[in-house]
């Protein structure tokens, strides 16, 4: 983000210092494009935070279920009926890798 802000400042300085006919338009275009990059990055951060909240919720649910198994006992939970079914995959089987 600091690099984007620095690019914005340099672009503004160059616009003042360089006085060629079409240079102003190009410098304005650079500034707009850098703004789009910053905006996209901000959106990515927001969606990443949302995913992190979902993961924390799933972890909490998993912890609660594990506690339930400990409290009730494995024999009692083994007696529960389950329905095995395939889960529809939205990723077409693509392995996702990341942090």
Residue 84 scores a pLDDT above 80: no
Per-residue pLDDT tens digits for 47-80? 777 788 888 888 888 888 888 888 888 777 777 7
Q: What is the pTM of this model?
A: 0.43
16 vs 24: CA distance, rounded Å? 9
Per-residue pLDDT tens digits for 10-59? 777 777 777 777 777 888 888 888 888 888 887 777 777 778 888 888 88
Is there a contact between 14 and 34 (Cβ–Cβ < 8 Å)? no
- Secondary structure letter of residue 26 according to DSSP: H
Assign 83 to helix, strand or coil.
coil
């Amino acid at each position: 983000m600091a690099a984007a802000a620095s690019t914005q400042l340099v672009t503004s300085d160059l616009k003042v210092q360089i006085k060629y006919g079409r240079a102003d338009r190009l410098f304005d275009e650079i500034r707009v494009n850098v703004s789009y990059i910053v905006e996209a990055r901000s959106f990515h951060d927001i969606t990443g935070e949302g995913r992190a909240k979902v993961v924390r919720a799933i972890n909490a649910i998993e912890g609660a279920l594990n506690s339930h198994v400990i409290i009730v006992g494995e024999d009692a939970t083994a007696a529960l009926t389950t329905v095995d079914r395939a889960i529809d995959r939205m990723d077409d089987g693509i392995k996702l890798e990341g942090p």
